[in-house]
A and B are shown apart, each in its own frame.
Chain A
Amino acid sequence: MLLAQRSPPMPATFTPRSVVDVDRERKDPGFGGRPPVDRRPTGGGGGDENWDHHRHGRGPRALLTRYRMGIFSALAGDLMFFMALVTAFFFRQSSGHFDGHGAYILDWHPLTIPPILYLNTAILLLSSLTMEMARRQLFHELDVMEEWLGMGRPAARRAAPWLAATIALGVVFLVGQWMAWNDLASQGFFFASNPSSHFFYLITGAHGAHLVLGILALVAALAALTMLHRMELRQIFVDCTAWYWHSMGIFWIFLFGLLVFFQ
């Protein structure tokens, strides 16, 4: 208790479902209308404390929640950015003109998607898996406790290779996208060639720019694992990067589907 008040609050941990269930079973009073108490371990020494009286004024998950909520609301805005591009895609696809004979002319020439994109998509999905592995390492209860108590950095040590793998896969994905661009360029499809190629380059480019940011964040997270002093901040850094990375994977699936099926 003293420890929790003097040092930064204890970090959050990820506990396997079975432990939570056992706990819930034990706390179920079994009568009346009271629901079972979900005593999901917070690591902070109890759920009904008023954290306002602590020096930092918050529980162990408060900062994490704050940043997660921040990254998710930022991503909601980002989703609107891609939605706007998709809307423009469909709008532009259907905007043509009448020629001198009264015939309606559409200038949209459907594009054949470079096959390497399928491979890239698989790589991006794989990178999401490695990212999730890295994220989970940082919430593994025993490792987190050791790390928080200053007994080495087992969580960070286990997360680092997964982060590095994610960076590598991300770079491979971007190289693959670059090759797809080269492929199209060699067929004579440049950014300015046709509305369909406008959108192909624009959508892959905008998504690629997001991934470049993601890779920078991953590199920073890797550095943060060794440089940040507070366990909590290391967790937050990796956690937010992971949610960002997953979202880019999900966005890509939809964008890729758009490019493949809606030419």
Chain B
Amino acid sequence: MMHGSPPVRSGLHNESAMKDLRAAGRTRPSLLQRIFTTDDRALGIHYLLLSLIAVAAGTLLSLAMRTQLAWPGIHWPFHGPMLPEEYLSLVTMHGTLMVFFVLTTAPQSGFANLVLPAQIGARGMALPWLNALGFWIVALALAVLLSAFLLPAGGPISGWTSYPPYSAVPSAGPGQGGGMDCWLISIGLFCIGSWFSAVNVLVTILTERAHGMTLGRMPLTVWSWFVSSVLILLAFTVLFAALVLLFCDRHLGTAFFIPQGDWISGQVVGHADGSPLLWLHLFWFFGHPEVYIAILPGMGLVSGLIANFSRRPIVGYRMMAAATVLIGLLGFVVWGHHMFVSGMNPYAGSAFALTTMAIAIPSTAEVFSWLGTLWGGGLRRTTPMLFALGFLSLFIAGGVTGPILALPALDQYLHNTFFVVAHFHLIMAMAGAFSIFAGIYYWFPLMTGRLMSERLGRWHFWLSLIGAYGTFFPMHMEGLAGRPRHYAQVTGSTSSLASLLPMERGVTWAAFVLGAAQILFLINIFWSARRDMPAGDNPWQATTLEWQPGLLPVRVERGPYEYRSGPPEADFIPQWERASQQE
């Protein structure tokens, strides 16, 4: 295990871990103690390992999908050709794993547990047992979700959004029986688990800050964890309610979502005026804030990295904090832009178009702040900085298609095409993944006391960047050509899209490059964790508190990103006051 060797804690001693050690009367905690721990940093590593399992599974699923799309009808070893419903189940599981167990879990729970207490100068999380409980519920959720693969009928096929009526009728498809139930239980558990951890993060930020750590001195990562926690509290509970309704429709004979006269698999299943639109409203009321839960911590982290590796304070810190809050608030009033073609009232569509385009304003403000910080800064191109710049590039590239899709008239055509797939994979999946990579390269010394290899890191970055654009950029063109989502192949008996096959193959090759690049990342993690290259106290000369070399208690004296105040050689002003300097 990565955290098997005693980590160099950069002077940050962890009270609870020390107490456990003393209580056990031995020098090393036992394996069980290390697994069932309430120590926040250990839980952060737990979360990251859980995400690593989920991302590995999700990536393999996506590569299988890409293989099927490039060479339809290919004969899979031990299996034969892939059936369309099997393809759909891959789509569903890929989306669910990636959105919930990677993009929500790693930046929000993983990184927050890893650095949040240290970053606000706290001794630990406010409610450690709740934190640990949340982790184990999320781990159980992942196990339940993956167990859907073991069912004879396979996984669910209605996508990560689980639109009714297909998701509400167990006979709608092979995986819609047991597989869909696994999905429901898993996501229900995930709601509860992330609800618990959000409560913990929120209370920690509100009550555990060190002396002098006012709201206006919190690093932007802390701001974004704060906003994301509020979003989780208010959005995941709504999803939970929707899951309860769906469960009743499936097993208790109600009709919340199944419309009158609905006819599925040769039988009439709709006997009352249920409304699939109701699910869409409830789901996307959760679903859009969920997107921000996934990306906000990355935005906060990238702000910090850009400030640190440019050796400049972040431009417009107050504006950035306000923009983070504003994005979170606006995120609650834009859910209708997922529903322009759903039969919703068209006037509602206009309103949602306006709110959606309004979100472009704080997002653009953030981008200009990042560019402004980079401008004239002393750029240090370390691997975490490269990934932060990659995030910036992907965020812009994926972001500009947002206002396009926000227009109901354009969305009429683009909805449910690969244009949408390209948009959210660039801005959420790839930008999110790049911010996670940046965070892991940056905070690796906190986990292991060692630095990751820069040479491997640079290879990983450039191959990932080429792979990411190669995979997802051509999907815009496919979408403009009318290529719909969720189709298992573009060729076949009635295909007007067969001419897209060469492009599909190109995308697939790029996806292989992207996947292969991640092998370098895995090698880098496991090799660097054992390599004898200690990182020291503050390898990046960062100013935020998690790199503070002194002991607790700490006092914050200055703003979060203070780098330059006078001559260039004194280009480093940390946020903290050393313990020895305190009276």
Judge whether B523 is part of the interface by a CB distance below 8 angstroms.
Answer: no
Is the C-beta of B255 less than 8 angstroms from some C-beta in chain A? yes
Contact indicator A88/B130 (Cβ below 8 Å): no
What are the 8 closest A-B residue pairs judged by CB atoms, nearest first? A192-B253, A84-B241, A77-B233, A52-B553, A81-B237, A95-B275, A77-B237, A84-B238
B127 near A67 with CB under 8 A, answer: yes
A26 located at the interface, meaning its Cβ lies under 8 Å from any Cβ of chain B in the complex: no
Q: Determine if A17 is an interface residue (Cβ-Cβ < 8 Å).
A: no
A192-B553 in contact (CB<8A): no
Complex interface: chain A residues within 8 A of B335 (CB): none
Which of B130, B241, B256, B285: most chain A Cβ within 10 A? B241
Q: Which residues of A contact B (CB under 8 A)?
A: 50, 52-53, 57, 62, 65-67, 69-70, 73-74, 76-78, 80-85, 87-88, 91-92, 95-97, 105-107, 191-192, 194-195, 198, 202, 206
Q: How far is the CB of B485 from chain A (nearest CB, A)?
A: 27
B242 touches A57 (CB 8 A): no
Are A73 and B202 in touch, CB under 8 angstroms?
Answer: yes
Question: Which one, B244-252, B318-326, B438-446, is touching chain A?
Answer: B244-252
Asked if B254 lies at the interface with its beta carbon under 8 angstroms from chain A, I say yes
Partner of B203, one of A73, A84, A194, A202: A73
Taking the closest CB of chain B, its distance from the CB of A98, in whole angstroms, is 10
Interface of B is mostly: helix
From B195, B207, B241, B244, give the contact of A74 (CB < 8 A).
Answer: B195
Residue contact A70 to B126, C-beta cutoff 8 Å: yes
**Bound complex: CA of A88 vs CA of B236, how far in Å?**
16
**Separation of A78 and B192 alpha carbons in the complex (Å):** 11
User: Considering the chains assembled together, what is the distance between the CA atoms of A202 and B254 in angstroms?
Assistant: 10
Give the distance to chain A from B112, nearest Cβ to Cβ, in Å. Answer: 15
Q: Residues of B contacting A195 with CB < 8 Å?
A: 255-256, 272-273
Q: Footprint of A on B, CB under 8 Å?
A: 123, 126-127, 130, 195-196, 198-200, 202-203, 206-208, 210-211, 232-238, 240-242, 244-245, 248, 252-256, 259-261, 272-275, 277-278, 281-282, 285, 552-553
Distance, CA A166 to CA B489, complexed state (A): 62
- Least CB distance, A197 to chain B, in whole angstroms: 9
Q: Which residue of A lies closest to B245 (CB)?
A: A88
A106 vs B274: C-alpha distance when bound (angstroms)? 11
CB-nearest residue of chain A to B249: A198
Q: Is the CB of B199 within 8 A of A70?
A: yes
Whether B274 lies near A95 (C-beta < 8 A) is yes
A164 vs B226: C-alpha distance in the bound complex, in angstroms? 38
Of the candidates B196, B203, B272, B278, the one whose C-beta lies within 8 Å of that of A66 is: B203
- Contact, CB under 8 Å: A81 / B241: yes
- Whole-angstrom distance between the alpha carbons of A81 and B237 in the complex? 5
The one of A82, A91, A106 that contacts B281, using a Cβ cutoff of 8 Å: A91
A66 vs B232: C-alpha distance when bound (angstroms): 19
23 contacts between A and B (CB under 8 A): A52-B552, A62-B207, A69-B203, A69-B206, A70-B126, A70-B127, A70-B130, A77-B237, A80-B234, A80-B241, A84-B238, A84-B282, A91-B277, A91-B281, A95-B275, A95-B277, A95-B278, A97-B259, A105-B273, A107-B272, A191-B252, A194-B272, A202-B248
Q: How far is the CB of B256 from chain A (nearest CB, A)?
A: 6
Once bound together, how far apart are the Cα atoms of A192 and B123, in whole Å? 52
Would A198 and B203 count as touching, CB distance under 8 A? no
Excluding A50-B211, A84-B282, A195-B273, 4 further A-B contacts by CB distance (< 8 Å) are A65-B207, A80-B235, A87-B281, A96-B273
Q: How far is the CA of A80 from the CA of B282 in the complex (A)?
A: 11
In the bound complex, residues from chain A placing their C-beta under 8 Å from that of B202 are 69, 73
CB distance from A244 to the nearest CB of B (A): 13
Contact check, B273 vs A52: say whether CB atoms are below 8 A apart: no
- Chain A residues within an 8 Å CB radius of B254: 191-192, 198, 202
- Expressed in whole angstroms, the minimum distance between the Cβ of A166 and any Cβ of chain B is 24
**A77-B234, A92-B278 are known contacts. Are A66 and B126 too (CB-CB below 8 A)?**
yes
For the complex, give the distance between the alpha carbons of A95 and B203 in Å: 40
> Which residues from chain A contact B126 at a C-beta distance below 8 Å?
66, 70
Cα separation A84 to B235 with both chains bound (whole Å)? 10
**A92 and B256 contact, Cβ closer than 8 Å, known pairs A52-B553, A66-B126, A73-B203:** yes
